[in-house]
Amino acid sequence: MTRLSHTAVLAVGIGMAAAGCATTSMNVSSHVRPGIDAAQYRTYGWGPADALPTGDPRLDANPYFQDYVQGAVERQLAARGIQPSTTGAPDLLLHYHAAIDTRIDVGRSEREYERCQGADCPAWIVDYEAGTLVLDVVDARTNRLIWRGWAQDSVREFESRDRMAETIGEAVRRMMARFPLP
């Protein structure tokens, strides 16, 4: 899982954490390994926790954040008939990584809405927090990544646990809608 953790971090280098994201503009995508035989996967287990910090003290060492992410993923897998492994090795290993970065957006809204012409349109600059939630699903027998999903968006303040749970749930639902297994 160490190699996998580093791979997930690479994917996150451009991104953000889904907790606190605005779901209206959330960017969600995934990648699936070609030729997956979905019938062989019936159980899952969680891989080792990510040793890398999210980059945000609101999430690092926050037990609610971890519970919300894992709970949302587990509900989506249960809906597909994939259960936690209770005995023996699981068919799938799961791992997630979250990160928050500061971004700068330089826009020309006046030109977009045709309120000004040419060089007379002033640029506006906005600093905002952005994050990514990456979920990796690994074939436990081969230790090969079979699916990766990610959600990206600007991050709002984490005022309440309810808002955090709602946003994580939406990000995981939208990612898992692309999950190739039944």
Domain ranges in the chain are: 2-176
For residue 34 the two structure tokens come to: 């070609």
Residue whose token pair is 């979250």: 98
pLDDT tens digits along 29-41: 999 999 888 788 9
The C-alpha atoms of residue 152 and residue 31 are separated, in whole angstroms, by: 15
The C-alpha atoms of residue 95 and residue 4 are separated, in whole angstroms, by: 9
The C-alpha atoms of residue 26 and residue 36 are separated, in whole angstroms, by: 27
Report field, pTM of the whole predicted structure over 0.95: no
The answer to whether residue 106 scores a pLDDT higher than 80 is: no
The 10 Å Cβ neighbour count of residue 28 is 21
pLDDT tens digits along 138-162: 999 999 999 999 998 777 656 678 8
Determine the pLDDT at residue 7: 34
The DSSP call for residue 2 is: H
Average pLDDT of the residues in 119-125 = 67
Determine the pLDDT at residue 55: 74
Fold observed for domain 2-176: Double Stranded RNA Binding Domain (3.30.160)
pLDDT tens digits along 43-63: 999 998 777 777 787 777 788
The 10 Å Cβ neighbour count of residue 145 is 19
For residue 71 the two structure tokens come to: 């709970």
The C-alpha atoms of residue 171 and residue 154 are separated, in whole angstroms, by: 12
Sign of the Cα torsion 84, 88, 90, 94 reads: positive
Question: How many residues in the chain?
Answer: 182
